[in-house]
Amino acid sequence: MSDQMQLDLSPSLPDRKPAGDLSLSDNELLGEFHDDKLREECGVFGLLGHSDAAALTALGLHALQHRGQEAAGIVAYDGEHFHSERRLGLVGDHFSSAKVIDRLKGEMAIGHVRYSTTGETILRNVQPLFADLWGGGFAVAHNGNLTNAITLRNELVRDGAIFQSTSDTETILQLVARSRKPRVMERFVDALGQIQGAYALVALTNKKLIGARDPLGIRPLVLGQFQGAPVLASETVAFDIIGAEFVREVDPGEVVICTREDGKIKVESMHPFPPQNVRPCVFEYIYFARPDSVVGGKSVYNVRKRLGQELARESAVEADVVIPVPDSGVPAAIGYAAESGIPFELGIIRNHYVGRTFIEPTQHIRQLGVKLKHNANRAIVNGKRIVLVDDSVVRGTTSIKIVKMMYEAGAKEVHMRIASPPITHPDFYGIDTPERDQLLASNYDLEGMRAYIGVDSLAFISVDGLYRAMGFTHRDQEHPQLTDHCFTGDYPTPLIDLDGEQRTRQLSLLAEIA
């Protein structure tokens, strides 16, 4: 890129230039490949005992599309054969035609929408994964991330296993296949006992629909019923779209077994592992779950509003208008406005018709940056002191562009308020986060971040404020109630693969020194 073609992303005021670039490439700064948001994990859905199982699964995946837009897949079983359809792209692009649904015959099906947190975006990594095992077929779909998948994979490969994908989910399939236990459920539980990390699983056998949730409850999973058919899903919104009834959350560490035999369906439960202190992922409430979902008995929308209210109490500022960064910042901004008494306005309008893979054919188009997705509502912004509310800041690059847009639209002052604490640590449980050296809050103090983004003031909700919004009085330092490692560095499970990688690097360095 020539000097003449480089885009100045800092606000026009001379004392509001970014303090640094965190070694980001020009493409990253321009937003060509990066949205500067935490990437969604995955979504799972399963149903047993309905003639429209595949069609209902496709609808459920539509409701979970926000959890992954890279790929989608469905596996169905008709009593004799398993049928699989896996595609790159959105659910509606591939599973809306009768021709595709007709190929997915049977009264039981599971489905998956994917954003890759491990493994490449290629068709062989698209879930559900399926294998013919001793005793019948087995399909599995996984939301989350295993922190010992690489370690287990290396052991399995040394023992002769042949992997067809680079997804950590196949590790589960291989463990089930290699278990010496006599029955499929025993083999499945045997596999679960060997994995570490976060998971919400749905699996399909010749007779069973199975759901499982990690012992800490990091990833969500709910149980419902539709016209007598048991349904499993990542979020309650998947029940809403098909008219299913919410029954309950799947407990952390629980395995739910739905069996069809002799024309009857029974739902059983087992808790094969010792109970642990439950720690659901706080980002389900901050960002990932749809606002109309209920997670852990809490309305996601109401939690996000309370985050905004706490933020207003902790970091009040004199301003004329509260403006959300759409769409994820809207509920928190509503809460901030209600608590502060400052009017709420839509000062940024989002273009909902620009996809993640928007073609940007020229450098000039790339220079437009964030305006492809967002545009300032000048009538609201011009001449105003604004409070700009967002749900999180990751690299800070999008924040820079949004703030620049506000100043260009005539804002007198821009005060940024973030409805989560500073993200200082990467995630290893199914959220695609940058390495630590690419996280803004890991590189700068609050004043440094303010200068980097280019705002008049910057404030994040405190960790205790976050917990208050979640209904707790404070964070229990001995036994934290939530998985919050991105803010605290307190990882709830051993990071076996990461520790092993660090040990390997240390040994290599010692060998070089020697």
pLDDT of residue 37: 60
Which one is predicted more confidently, 387 or 97?
387
pLDDT at position 205 is 96
Give one DSSP letter per residue of 343-410, joined into a string.
Answer: PB---EEE-TT--TT----SHHHHHTGGGGTEEE-HHHHTT-EEEEEES--SSSHHHHHHHHHHHHTT
3-state secondary structure string across 207-233: CEEEEEECCCCCCCCEEEEECCEEEEE
Longest CA–CA separation in the chain, Å: 76
pLDDT of 361 > 60? The answer is no
Distance of alpha carbon 84 from alpha carbon 29, whole angstroms: 40
pLDDT at 505: 47
Select which of 42, 258, 281, 486 is catalytic. Answer: 42
Mean pLDDT of 115-126: 71
Rounded-to-integer distance, Cα 112 and Cα 64, Å = 9
**pLDDT at residue 511 above 50?**
no
Question: What pLDDT score was predicted for residue 374?
Answer: 85
Alpha carbons 245 and 382: distance in angstroms, whole number: 47
For 137, phi then psi, to 5°, come to -80, 155
Pick the range with the lowest mean pLDDT from 41-45, 79-83, 231-235, 355-359: 355-359
The topology (CATH level 3) of 42-284 is Glutamine Phosphoribosylpyrophosphate, subunit 1, domain 1 (3.60.20)
Q: In the predicted model, is pLDDT for residue 328 greater than 50?
A: yes
> If you search the block for the tokens 């349904």, which residue do you land on?
231
**Amino acid 371: pLDDT:** 64
CATH code, residues 3-30+302-488: 3.40.50.2020
The values of phi and psi at residue 57, to 5°, are: -65, -40
CA 278, CA 263: separation in Å to the nearest integer?
A: 37
* Cβ partners under 8 Å of residue 80, min gap 6: none
Q: Is the pLDDT of residue 372 over 50?
A: yes
**For residue 144, is it left (φ>0), alpha (ψ between -120 and 50) or beta?**
left
The whole-number average pLDDT for the span 12-22 is 38
What pLDDT score does 135 carry?
81
| All structural domains of the chain with their residue ranges | 3-30+302-488, 42-284
Strand bridging mode 385-390 / 229-233: unpaired
- Clarify whether 486 is annotated catalytic: no
Higher-scoring residue by pLDDT: 399, 10: 399
Least-confidence region, from 81-90, 246-255, 353-362: 353-362
Backbone Cα Rg of the chain: 24
DSSP state of 62: H
Q: Angle CA(197)–CA(418)–CA(303) in degrees, nearest 5?
A: 65
Place of tokens 């996984």: 142
Q: H helices within 228-299, ranges in order?
A: 237-242, 283
Among 358, 356, 293, which Cα is nearest to 90's?
356
Q: What is the pTM of this model?
A: 0.86
User: Do the beta carbons of residue 140 and residue 169 sit within 8 Å?
Assistant: yes
Structural contact between residues 241 and 63, judged by C-beta atoms closer than 8 angstroms:
yes
470 — pLDDT class (breaks 50, 70, 90): very high
Q: Region 238-256: what's the mean pLDDT?
A: 98
CB neighbour class for 314 (10 Å; exposed up to 12, middle 13-18, buried from 19): middle
Token pair belonging to 60: 């459920």
- Give the angle 488-492-497 at the CA atoms, nearest 5°: 105
Q: For position 9, what pLDDT does the model report?
A: 29
At residue 355, the pLDDT reads 54
Contact 237, 64 (CB under 8 A): yes
In the predicted structure, residue 41 carries a pLDDT above the cut 80: no
Of 139, 140, 145, 141, nearest to 118 by C-alpha is: 145
> pLDDT grade, residue 33 (50/70/90)?
very low
- Model confidence over 387-399: pLDDT tens digits? 999 999 999 998 9
pLDDT higher than threshold 60 for residue 465: yes
Segment (H or E) for 503? helix 496-513
Higher pLDDT, 30 or 175: 175
Predicted confidence at residue 14, as pLDDT, reads 32
The mean pLDDT of the chain is 87
